């Protein structure tokens, strides 16, 4: 798939999913929390408006899935922004200051890379009551390392570029050099990596939810729905298939989008 | 090369120390002790327990005690399994995780590198697109979706393979867990290999090699393979971490008494010495494997050794 | 039957034809020079002969090598021709050799692939070949990695790889462009010595090399063949306008006008400059001054410290000792601490315009940035007017204002860089290899533009170059540097007429002259520039110097005055 086409297709797919997830629940007569033990694990049907069927407590799966998408996307986007802020600041600082500071800062990143982070996150989730905010922070904390490395490498090479020397020579202020000459040249690569960080964040969030360490009932996320679905996959496969395929679709779209953006960005820079 | 290796080994020591310190701090910062939810104990017994586990000492002293224990290979006693040491618990569970992880990694490397190289050489063909389509799907589907899907299909519906671990012997019990664990890594390594192989194949020295009348097989084997493997080698660290993470899920789904499973149980039980032990053990393992990767990197890329 | 017979060769990528109907013949043992500027299709033609064009190239016409059609031939057939019948040397030896493999390992693949040796005797053959291209201690060097060799040694290895299977035709694509000029002379000698009866297709942009080494000349322009014939007649009586233009733009080091020394007062002086990077001394004890309206050239090969010297002078890298005096007042060591007026007056143009322009800014924003800093009172319209006027001066129009750097050609981008440097009407302009990346005709235009700006405004120019031929036409004075030291300084007229330092003499003799009547001299210098980390004792030039005598290896010469020339040599030419 060529860069531009894949960006258009995956971009509009993601937008559609997000809009349906936002608007969909209003159109449904059900809400995400009301149980109905007389109608558990019902198959999807149009007649009673259970588009995706019901779960083992008789809650409407369509509304719950939409809620799950919202939560998953929200967690992923906020976590990616957290990693963006930490990663870009850290990386740009290391790259711009350079020298020993850079070496020390990157040493720390290398060290953190060696940590089995997910184990720390599990620990965090268990130790501090599971709260929503903590999920964002934890996931963001895992993913900022890549961003920091990439931004640092890019900044380091930009700082050595001759147009920065030319600006220094003319008397352009350091502030202006950073914002006018270095930052704009970082935007492309940062956008690409944020896009690729989102699916990773989604994976971590679903992983935690799957282990029962993520969002708490009756709130839900795609990962939590998959977890619930696994228990009934033999008798009521749709309970697994619907959230699992939506999760996979979302991840695929973000990965394709990121790849497409990267191709576009690379092409710009080699031409 | 010797100098490079020694420098790398020396460099790993502070990393390891830092990792241990961080893990230690995090575990000790977690509120709530292992004995909190048991019935309220008399103050003197409480103090006795605290003293027994040295929890009454100041934190730096506890850390030093822990470190000196580590040097002797002692990870301390488990809070929950009375009379059991963390070391013996890990020693019991780790072989399972090691078997799974090593098999998954081997599978991922063989298939991933093979498929990625083949795709790079047939760039733009249907074969390439199919491989890359699979790979993209592979990195986009979480382990905990793949695992139940495979179980549903191969174990429940077709009954070709056992669905779980308990009560089964022989190699067949490895098939599903190893495949599940390896799939995302196969996908990732295939993508990485393809990209890096394409990059190497576009370099001038490859054109020179072709201009010397060498066949494609020779060009790839002699000239391209080594440099194309460098990014894959760099990815080994994260890959190992990813497989360890994946093993947490896989061991749960297939009921394998491995280290990932022990960790989750330990965390839920607030068995902090066990949890800390596993984190330190895994972190050391990762630091050690990364060290191997670094040294291997130096062996492949002669220019790195001189920095 | 010709050895190589190319007819109507056309290469297209999509709609665009990069080579368009080229006919080319090479007889056995003959040497043919293929000359043209960038984008003329030289390299594409060479790759087509080797069957190495990318798959998406659309090729038509015919390429017969010794009766064998190459276009459409299978890889199996091509592999019997490559190296065994047609050897090739590509431009950059660092890129052409595999950095991950030992040199011997790379070379031994070739005889093995062509069945010229078996595993037992292949190493002996490799070592013999390495010895014949002049690699010292070939047995040990065959175990070295490419990065452990100097540029010249690497290119010798590439030459060895091209000749090890004893081909009938050798294609050399810009074989010396990445090398220093004294090393270039050695490689060209070697090529000539080893070639014997092998035919040669030499691809280059340098008419001097063609004139010296090729019996036949073929001129390409925009993918079309515009002229071909015996080298002597092509140079003596060029039939096509493009050939005449190329010849007119080719600078000659051996003759032509030399600007007369300028008479202005001193505007800038550098005293006893020393630049140190960790454990290497890039510049040691260099002093010079610049007059108003004068052009001073600083000439030297890689490692000479010429770039470090001007960067330190401009305050971009710290000077470990020494001083810079501008308009009678000393300047601070770092540019950030210098007075605004001094920063305004000293400007720099870089070698690579692609790196010197911010890819995210349009031409307008790039050129007006200095105005924003130094004349903040200007409004947007006034700034724009000034930029347009400046662009006009450098030969670019208003239509370039909205372009991004990647939408400019190399020459246009370099003009934009010059416009940025000149918009504040500086007093001193430093050009650091500013013309090196440009084609001959563009270089000539930019040179003329600089000269006219100088005439109009009295601008002083410090012109850094490795190429004495280019320097000759514009410099009033020339400084020659070697390994961080100033070895000779004189008025251009004096220096070109009677160089005193043996290194200056060698530089002058190494430059190929674009005139087939002038026989190329044998390479005047052996060896290559040593590492500045560990410079030779005494006179740093003595290991390569033919005139070296008593004391040269122990006592460093100081600059002394001989008939108006400052020279650092114990045994200068008289």
CB-based contact C459:C483 (threshold 8 Å): no
> Is-contact B269 B34, C-beta < 8 A?
yes
Q: A207 or B209, which is more confident?
A: B209
Of B148, B235, B245, nearest to B193 by C-alpha is B235
Look at residues C92, C48, C43 and name the one whose alpha carbon lies nearest to residue C220: C43
- Which residues from A are below 8 Å from C360, CB to CB? 184-185
C209 pLDDT band, cuts 50/70/90, is very high
The C-alpha atoms of residue B190 and residue C127 are separated, in whole angstroms, by: 39
Residues counted in chain C: 574
Q: The sheet that has C199-204: what strands, in order across it? A: C86-89, C169-173, C199-204, C31-35, C216-221, C224-230
Cα–Cα distances (Å) from A208 to A72, A178, B249, C500, C507, in that order, read 11, 39, 10, 79, 70
Per-chain mean pLDDT for chain A: 83
Q: What is the rounded average pLDDT of the residues C500-519?
A: 92
Residue A64 pLDDT > 60? yes
What is the rounded radius of gyration, in angstroms, for the C-alpha atoms of chain A? 22
Residue of B nearest to A236 (CA): B152
| Interface contact C83-B212, CB threshold 8 A | yes
Specify the higher pLDDT residue, B144 or A88. Answer: A88
- Whether chain C has a CB inside 8 Å of the CB on A184: the answer is yes
Q: What average pLDDT does range B89-107 have in this prediction?
A: 92
d(Cα A166, Cα C352) in Å, to the nearest integer? 12
- Name all chains with 3 or more CB-CB pairs below 8 Å to chain A: B, C
Q: What is the mean pLDDT of chain C?
A: 92
The nearest CA of chain C is from the CA of A178 a distance in Å of 12
Interface test with A, best of B25, B155, B181, B245 (most A CBs within 10 A): B245
Cis omega (within 30 of 0) for bond into A113:
no
Angstrom distance (rounded) from CA A68 to CA C543: 76
The answer to whether residue B140 neighbours chain A at the CB level (below 8 Å) is yes
Instruction: Give the mutation candidate from A114, A208, A209 for the B interface (greatest B CB count, under 10 A).
Output: A114
Euclidean distance between CA atoms A213 and A230, whole angstroms: 16
Q: Which residues of A touch B253 (CB under 8 A)?
A: 230
In contact, C87 and C50? CB cutoff 8 Å: no
The whole-model pTM stands at 0.83
Length in residues, chain A: 271
Lowest-pLDDT range of B32-46, B92-106, B221-235: B32-46
At residue C303, the pLDDT reads: 85
The phi and psi torsions of C485 (rounded to 5 degrees) equal -105, 150
Interface membership of C343 toward A (CB under 8 Å): yes
To the nearest whole Å, the CA of A154 is away from the closest chain B CA by: 18
Measured between beta carbons, the chain B residues lying within 8 angstroms of A122 are: 248, 263-264, 267
User: B94-256: which CATH number, 1.10.3720.10, 3.50.50.60, 3.40.50.450, 1.10.3080.10?
Assistant: 1.10.3720.10
HSE at residue C142, side-chain half, CA atoms within 13 A, is: 21
- C109–B209 CB contact, under 8 Å: yes
pLDDT at residue B112, as a whole number: 96
Chain A nearest CA to C361, separation (Å): 8
Q: Confidence class of residue B41 from pLDDT cuts 50, 70 and 90?
A: low
Gap between the Cα atoms of B208 and B218, Å rounded = 13
CA proximity to A221, closest of A139, A144, A146: A139
Picking from B248, B267, B282, the nearest residue to A126 by CB comes out as: B267
Kindly indicate the confidence band of residue B307, based on its pLDDT and cuts at 50, 70 and 90.
very low
- Tell me, what's the pLDDT at B82? 76
Out of C316, C343, C420, closest to residue A165 by CB: C316
SS3 of residue A129 by DSSP? coil
Is the pLDDT at A2 greater than 60? The verdict is no
Contact present, C512 and C206 (Cβ < 8 Å): yes
- Closest Cβ opposite residue B275 in set A123, A223, A259: A123
Alpha helices in C316-409, H assignment, sequence order: 340-345, 353-356, 363-374, 380-393
Question: B213, exposed or middle or buried, with CB in 10 Å at 0-12, 13-18, 19+?
Answer: buried
Going by C-alpha positions, the residue among C360, C306, C109, A250 that lies closest to residue B211 is C109
A-chain residues near C336 (CB < 8 A): 168, 174
Residue B187: which region, alpha, beta or left (left: phi > 0; alpha: psi -120 to 50)? Answer: alpha
CA atoms of A73 and A198, how far apart (whole Å)? 8
Contact B222 C83 (CB under 8 A): no
Q: Is A157 on the interface with C (CB under 8 A)?
A: no
Report residue A271's pLDDT band, with 50, 70 and 90 as the boundaries. very low
Instruction: Give the residue among C229, C208, C248 at the shortest CA–CA distance from C519.
Output: C208
What pLDDT was estimated at residue C227?
95
Residue with tokens 């020295």: B205
Whether residue C92 has pLDDT greater than 50 = yes
Residues C252-307 pLDDT 10s: 888 888 888 777 899 999 999 999 988 889 999 999 999 999 999 999 998 899 99
Residues 6 or more apart whose CB falls under 8 angstroms from that of B233 comprise B293, B296, B297, B300
Tell me what pLDDT residue B198 has: 92
Q: C346: which residues sit within 8 A by CB, 6+ positions away? A: A169, C268, C314, C326, C426, C427, C428, C430
Partners of A162 on chain C (C-beta within 8 Å) are 350, 352, 355-356
Strands C565-567 and C485-491: antiparallel
Which ranges of C458-560 does DSSP label H, i.e. alpha helix? 468-472, 492-497, 502-510
Query: A99 at the C interface (CB within 8 A)?
Result: no
Lookup: tokens for C340:
């605004």
pLDDT, residue C504, reads 95
CB contact at 8 A, C464 and C310: yes
**What does each C-alpha distance from C183 to C163, C168, C174, C500 come to in angstroms?**
20, 26, 14, 21
* Residue of chain A whose Cα is closest to the Cα of C418: A166
For chain A, percent of residues with pLDDT exceeding 70: 93
As given in the structure block, the two tokens for residue C565 are 């020339």
pLDDT of residue C442: 85
Structure tokens given for B88: 């013996």
> CB-based contact (8 Å) between A256 and chain B?
yes
Tell me what pLDDT residue A1 has. Answer: 46
Instruction: Measure CA A16 to chain center.
Output: 17
Which uninterrupted H or E stretch holds A64? helix A61-97
Find out whether C28 and C168 touch, Cβ atoms under 8 Å.
yes
Closest partner CB to A252 (pick from B22, B27, B140): B140
C285: left (phi over 0), alpha (psi -120 to 50) or beta: left
Read off the pLDDT band of C501 (50, 70, 90).
very high
pLDDT digits (tens, 9 = 90+) for B155-197: 877 888 777 777 677 777 888 899 999 999 999 999 999 999 9
User: Pick the residue with more confidence: C103 or B284?
Assistant: C103
Among A154, A169, A188, which would you mutate to test the C interface (most chain C Cβ atoms within 10 Å of its Cβ)? A169
Mean pLDDT of C435-441: 85
In order of B59, C240, C304, C426, the CA distances from C431 in angstroms are 63, 33, 16, 13
Q: Minimum mean pLDDT among A255-259, B114-118, B194-198, C513-517: which range?
A: A255-259
Residue C211, token pair as written in the block: 């004139």
**pLDDT bracket for residue B36 (50, 70, 90):** low
User: What are the structure tokens assigned to B43, written together?
Assistant: 């103050």
Q: What residues contact residue B158 under an 8 Å CB cut-off, 6+ apart?
A: none
Q: Which two tokens stand for residue A181?
A: 């000459």
373-412 in chain C: CB under 8 A from chain A: 373-374, 406
DSSP C261: P
Q: Sorting pLDDT into bands at 50, 70 and 90, what band is B295?
A: confident
Task: Pinpoint the alpha helices (H) of C196-338.
Answer: 207-213, 231-236, 241-249, 306-314
Top mean pLDDT of B166-170, C327-331, C349-353 is at C327-331
What is the per-residue pLDDT for B33?
Answer: 56
What distance, in Å, lies between the first and last C-alpha atoms of chain A? 20
Look at A175-189, B74-88, B191-205, C332-346 and tell me which has the smallest mean pLDDT: B74-88
Residues recorded for chain B: 307
What is the spatial distance between Cα B150 and Cα B164, in angstroms, rounded to a whole number?
Answer: 12
Helix axes B225-253, B172-201, angle to 10 degrees: 150
Distance of alpha carbon C206 from alpha carbon C514, whole angstroms: 8
Residue B37 tokens, joined: 């939810």
Closest among C43, C47, C50, C45 to C9, alpha carbons compared: C45
Q: Per-residue pLDDT for A33 more than 80?
A: no
Cross-chain Cβ contact C314/A169 below 8 Å:
yes
Q: What tokens does C304 get? A: 């000479």
Distances (CA, A) of C265 to B12, C268, C289, C338, C463: 62, 9, 10, 22, 19
Residue contact B213–C78, C-beta within 8 A: yes
With beta carbons under 8 A apart, name residues in chain C contacting A168.
Answer: 316, 335-336
Residues in B closer than 8 angstroms to C79, CB to CB, are 213-215
| pLDDT of amino acid B164 | 74
Of these ranges, A46-55, A108-117, C29-38, the one predicted with the greatest mean pLDDT is C29-38
Q: CA–CA separation, C116 vs C98, rounded Å?
A: 22
In chain A the domains, ranked by start, together with CATH numbers, are: 3-270 (1.10.3720.10)
Q: Is A111 on the interface with B (CB under 8 A)?
A: yes
Q: For residues B299 and B2, what is the distance between their CA atoms, to the nearest angstrom?
A: 10
Within 8 A of C147 by CB-CB distance, chain B residues are: 302-303
CB nearest to B136's CB, from A113, A206, A252 = A252
For CA atoms C387, C389, C393, C395, the dihedral sign is positive
DSSP H helices in chain B: 2-29, 43-52, 59-71, 86-121, 126-140, 143-150, 172-201, 204-211, 216-218, 225-253, 259-268, 272-300
Residue A268 has pLDDT above 60, yes or no: no
Could you give the CA distance from residue B196 to residue C399 in angstroms, rounded to a whole number?
Answer: 41
Residues in chain B closer than 8 A to A113 (CB atoms): 237-238, 290
A167 Cβ under 8 Å from any chain C Cβ: yes
Neighbours of chain C (3+ CB pairs under 8 A): A, B
- Residue C346: list chain A partners with CB under 8 A: 169
Does residue B96 register a pLDDT over 50? Answer: yes
The position carrying tokens 């072709």 is B210
**What domains appear along chain C, each with residue ranges and CATH number?**
1-40+51-81+217-249 (3.40.50.300), 89-204 (3.40.50.300), 266-361+426-567 (3.40.50.300)
Report residue A136 as tokens: 């964002």
Residue A163 in contact with residue C405, Cβ under 8 Å? Answer: no
CA dist B47 and B177 (Å) reads 45
**Section B113-132 average pLDDT:** 93
Contact across the interface for B156 and A126, Cβ inside 8 Å: no
A170 touches chain C (CB under 8 A): yes
């Amino acid at each position: 798939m060529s860069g531009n086409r894949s960006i258009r297709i995956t971009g509009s797919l993601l937008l559609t999913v997000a809009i349906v997830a936002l608007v969909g629940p209003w159109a449904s007569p059900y809400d995400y929390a009301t149980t109905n033990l007389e109608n558990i694990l019902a198959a999807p049907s149009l007649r009673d408006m259970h588009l995706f069927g019901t779960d083992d407590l008789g809650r409407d799966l369509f509304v719950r899935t939409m809620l799950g998408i919202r939560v998953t996307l929200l967690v992923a986007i906020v976590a990616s922004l957290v990693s963006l802020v930490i990663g870009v600041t850290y990386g740009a600082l290391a790259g711009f200051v350079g020298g020993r500071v850079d070496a020390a800062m990157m040493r720390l990143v290398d060290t953190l890379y060696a940590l089995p982070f997910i184990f720390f996150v599990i620990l965090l989730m268990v130790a501090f009551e599971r709260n929503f905010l903590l999920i964002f922070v934890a996931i963001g904390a895992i993913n900022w390392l890549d961003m920091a490395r990439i931004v640092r490498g890019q900044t380091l090479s930009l700082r050595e570029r001759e147009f920065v020397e030319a600006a220094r020579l003319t008397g352009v202020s350091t502030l202006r050099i950073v914002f006018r000459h270095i930052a704009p040249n970082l935007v492309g690569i940062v956008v690409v990596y944020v896009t690729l960080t989102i699916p990773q964040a989604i994976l971590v969030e679903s992983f935690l939810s799957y282990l029962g360490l993520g969002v708490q009932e009756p709130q839900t996320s795609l990962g939590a729905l998959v977890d619930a679905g696994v228990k009934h996959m033999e008798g009521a496969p749709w309970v697994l298939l619907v959230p699992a395929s939506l999760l996979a679709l979302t991840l695929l779209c973000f990965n394709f989008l990121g790849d497409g953006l990267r191709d576009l960005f690379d092409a710009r820079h080699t031409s | 090369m010797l100098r490079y290796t020694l420098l790398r080994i020396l460099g790993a020591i502070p990393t390891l120390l830092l990792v241990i310190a961080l893990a230690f701090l995090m575990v000790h910062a977690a509120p709530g002790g292992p004995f909190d939810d048991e019935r309220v104990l008399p103050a003197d017994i409480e103090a006795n327990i605290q003293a027994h586990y040295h929890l009454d000492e100041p934190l730096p002293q506890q850390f030093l005690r822990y470190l000196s224990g580590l040097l002797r290979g002692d990870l301390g006693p488990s809070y929950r399994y009375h009379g059991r040491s963390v070391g013996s618990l890990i020693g019991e569970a780790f072989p399972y995780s090691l078997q799974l992880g090593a098999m998954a990694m081997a599978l991922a490397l063989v298939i991933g590198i093979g498929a990625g190289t083949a795709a790079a050489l047939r760039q733009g063909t249907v074969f390439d697109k199919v491989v890359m389509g699979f790979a993209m799907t592979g990195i986009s589907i979480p382990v905990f979706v793949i695992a139940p899907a495979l179980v549903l299909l191969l174990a429940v519906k077709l009954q070709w393979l056992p669905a779980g671990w308990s009560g089964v012997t022989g190699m067949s019990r490895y098939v599903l867990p190893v495949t599940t664990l390896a799939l995302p890594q196969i996908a990732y390594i295939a993508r990485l290999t393809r990209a890096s192989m394409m990059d190497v194949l576009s370099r001038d020295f490859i054109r020179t090699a072709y201009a010397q009348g060498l066949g494609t097989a020779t060009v790839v084997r002699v000239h391209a393979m080594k440099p194309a493997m460098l990014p894959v080698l760099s990815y080994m660290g994260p890959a190992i971490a990813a497989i360890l993470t994946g093993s947490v899920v896989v061991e749960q789904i297939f009921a394998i008494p491995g280290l990932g499973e022990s960790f989750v149980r330990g965390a839920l039980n607030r068995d902090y010495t066990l949890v800390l032990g596993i984190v330190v053990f895994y972190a050391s393992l990762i630091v050690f494997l990364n060290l191997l990767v670094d040294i291997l990197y130096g062996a492949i890329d002669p220019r790195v050794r001189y920095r | 039957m010709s050895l190589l017979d190319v007819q109507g060769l056309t290469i297209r990528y999509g709609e665009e034809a990069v080579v368009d109907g080229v006919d080319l013949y090479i007889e056995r043992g003959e040497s043919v020079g293929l000359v043209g500027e960038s984008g003329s299709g030289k390299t594409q033609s060479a790759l087509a002969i080797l069957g190495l064009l990318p798959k998406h190239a659309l090729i038509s016409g015919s390429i017969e090598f010794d009766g064998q059609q190459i276009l459409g031939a299978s890889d199996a057939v091509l592999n019997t021709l490559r190296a065994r019948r047609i050897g090739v040397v590509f431009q950059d030896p660092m890129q052409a050799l595999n950095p991950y493999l030992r040199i011997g390992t790379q070379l031994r693949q070739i005889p093995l692939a062509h069945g010229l040796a078996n595993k037992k005797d292949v190493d002996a053959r490799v070592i013999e070949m390495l010895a014949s291209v002049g690699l010292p201690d070939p047995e040990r060097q065959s175990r070295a990695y490419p990065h452990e060799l100097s540029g010249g040694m690497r290119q010798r290895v590439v030459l060895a790889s091209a000749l090890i299977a004893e081909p009938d035709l050798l294609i050399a694509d810009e074989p010396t462009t990445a090398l220093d000029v004294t090393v270039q002379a050695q490689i060209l000698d070697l090529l000539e010595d080893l070639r014997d009866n092998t035919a040669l297709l030499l691809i280059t942009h340098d008419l001097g090399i063609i004139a010296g080494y090729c019996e036949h000349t073929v001129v390409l322009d925009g993918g079309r063949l515009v002229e071909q014939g015996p080298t002597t007649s092509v140079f003596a009586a060029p039939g096509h306008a493009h050939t005449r233009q190329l010849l007119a733009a080719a600078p000659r080091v051996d003759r032509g006008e030399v600007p007369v020394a300028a008479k202005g007062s001193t505007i800038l002086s550098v005293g006893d400059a020393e630049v140190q990077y960790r454990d290497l001394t890039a510049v040691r004890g260099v002093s010079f001054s610049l007059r108003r309206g004068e052009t001073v050239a600083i000439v030297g090969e890689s490692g000479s410290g010429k770039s470090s010297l001007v960067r330190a002078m401009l305050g971009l890298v710290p000077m470990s000792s020494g001083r810079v005096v501008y308009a009678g007042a000393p300047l601070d060591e770092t540019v950030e601490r210098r007075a605004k007026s001094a920063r305004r007056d000293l400007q720099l143009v870089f070698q690579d315009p692609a790196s010197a322009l911010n890819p995210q800014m349009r031409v307008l924003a790039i050129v007006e940035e200095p105005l924003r800093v130094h004349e903040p009172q200007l409004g947007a319209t006034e700034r724009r007017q000034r930029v347009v006027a400046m662009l006009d001066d450098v030969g670019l129009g208003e239509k370039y204002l909205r372009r991004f750097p990647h939408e400019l050609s190399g020459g246009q981008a370099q003009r934009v860089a010059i416009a940025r440097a000149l918009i504040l009407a500086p007093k001193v302009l430093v050009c650091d290899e500013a013309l090196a990346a440009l084609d001959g005709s563009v270089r000539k235009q930019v040179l003329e533009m600089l000269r006219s700006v100088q005439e109009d405004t009295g601008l002083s120019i410090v012109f850094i170059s490795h190429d004495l031929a280019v320097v000759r036409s514009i410099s009033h004075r020339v400084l020659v540097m070697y390994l961080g030291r100033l070895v000779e300084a004189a008025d251009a007229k004096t220096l070109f007429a009677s160089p005193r330092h043996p290194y200056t003499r060698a530089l002058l003799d190494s430059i190929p002259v674009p005139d087939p009547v002038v026989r190329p001299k044998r390479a005047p210098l052996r060896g290559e520039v040593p590492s500045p980390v560990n410079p030779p004792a005494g006179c740093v030039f003595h290991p390569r110097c033919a005139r070296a005598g008593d004391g040269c290896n122990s006592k460093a010469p100081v600059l002394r005055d001989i008939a108006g020339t400052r020279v650092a040599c114990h045994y200068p030419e008289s």
